[in-house]
Structure 1
Amino acid sequence: MTSNTKAHAVPYFSQYQTPALAAGIATGERTAADDPRWATSGADTREEYAWWAGRLCGVACLRMALAHWRIDPPQPVPLARDLVDAGAYTVDGDTVGGLFHEPFARHVTGRWQLAARPDSSLTRETVHREITGGALVILSVHQSIRTLDPAPPQRGGHLVLAHTADERTVTIHNPSGWPGVSQKNHRIEWRALDRFFAGRGIILGPHPN
């Protein structure tokens, strides 16, 4: 891996409308229905927001990327509904499938003309190269990356946005990270990332002219 460093100044969005509540909601001390800013999500009801909130990590990553490239991001719940229509999520009763990377990438490319590409065999070298080349990378990691759990039960299942990389570390925005600890600009050593990273993700960049 080269010693190049690339840092992107990327706005942060939580998957919760009140980011300070993320830890309490994730640990079960609070519920998303307690979020006083639920209506800013674009949900029709508090219940709809609470249903979607824990499933919006990919939506939050996309909203951050859109804002980075000066595209006004849609509100999260209407965006989630659009992704259902695009096949990036499936909904069956109370069960949500996804986020499915290929239809997600097609929707992002078609709607906003970004260069979105799923990759199911990502390596740290590829992630580093893409970021230093100007891209952002959505990574599939285990949610316990927010505490750097020494023994996560699995890899993958949660999405974060990698925006800065150097030869030793990668820096992420975590939609459900702990406030003041692992939400914004959480810097992680590559060797630690390996415990959580499933080797899958979506590379996002401006559309080539």
Structure 2
Amino acid sequence: MENEKINIVIVDDHPIVIEGLRMMLNSQPFFNVAESFVSGSETMSYIRSHKVDIILLDIALPDANGTELCREIKKISPETSVIMFSNRSERSIIMQSIQNGASGYLLKNTSINELVICIKGALSGDIVFCNETKQIISRPSQNDVPIPRLTKREKQILQLVAQGKTSNIIAEELFLSPLTVDTHRKNLLQKFHAKNSTELINRAVQQRLIEE
């Protein structure tokens, strides 16, 4: 047990970030970067058949939102500690990550010393934050909008609204009544605290729920 290494997986869409982390972590005794991935789908496939102690997970991935991916990882592998590792510093995203089962949230300017301490803390069952993240969550911002939970239908309609389609066209494409589409649109505005479709789309883009 003394010589058993902690298996770490890095998930980030920037290879240079992955290589930098791999070098730093592998230089530490008892740490082993077992694998790295640039997408959520690859990560999910891997954890279904491998034991992973720690996952360092970015928010913005080409095929997934990191906060949602964290929740899916915890369903499959509840014993794995997921630490979000991102440039995104919005308080709402930090808190959403913790709600979805993350063991911590670190910004990418975190020092290697702080990273090591946080990994060890997460393995001990603590919720860990870098110093800058601690400062962010200690002063709530009224402008922060939490990432809303959307139904499958709401996600479909959101994508079509972002394409500039009217309620009538969306209704035809999805075989719904225009009234039902309008109801979904109103619900989306409420969930995003948006006054109109433009604000709705902007906030959905900021939350990485749709592409620009």
TM range, smaller chain: under 0.3
Which structure: greater strand fraction? Answer: 1
Which structure: greater helix fraction? Answer: 2
- The TM-score normalised by the length of structure 1 is 0.26
- The TM-score normalised by the length of structure 2 is 0.26
